[in-house]
Amino acid sequence: MKGMQKLVVAMAGALALSAPMMSVAGDAAAGKAKAAVCAACHGSNGKAQIPTYPNLAGQNEQYLVVALKAYRAKERSGGQAAIMQGQAAALSDTDIANLAAYYSGMK
């Protein structure tokens, strides 16, 4: 039984460490509705018209989640970070997941 307990403890630890990488799947339709404000800089089709702004269409979903949460926490700086920090400050975790689902699903 002692070996089984170690296995359970090891598995619980592995799950706890991987928890930050797990995410609830976002709702792309809700993300599309929320993305109207994003279109000003990132384009209505997720492709920015200004070269210094990144394209979001087809971007990796987990990357978008991590990036938006980092802006919201003011952990990203440089470039247009001040603008993005202000935009991300109003986003909930659900909003972020929905936006990430929407943009990652674009071609």
Per-residue confidence (pLDDT) for residue 25, from 0 to 100: 86
The domains found in the chain, sorted by start residue, are 26-104 (1.10.760.10)
Say how far apart CA 29 and CA 98 lie, in whole Å.
8
Say how far apart CA 12 and CA 34 lie, in whole Å.
36
pLDDT digits (tens, 9 = 90+) for 52-83: 999 999 999 999 999 999 999 999 998 899 99
Per-residue confidence (pLDDT) for residue 10, from 0 to 100: 45
Residue 27: is it exposed, middle or buried by C-beta count within 10 angstroms (0-12/13-18/19+)? middle
**Reported pTM:** 0.77
Say how far apart CA 9 and CA 27 lie, in whole Å.
34
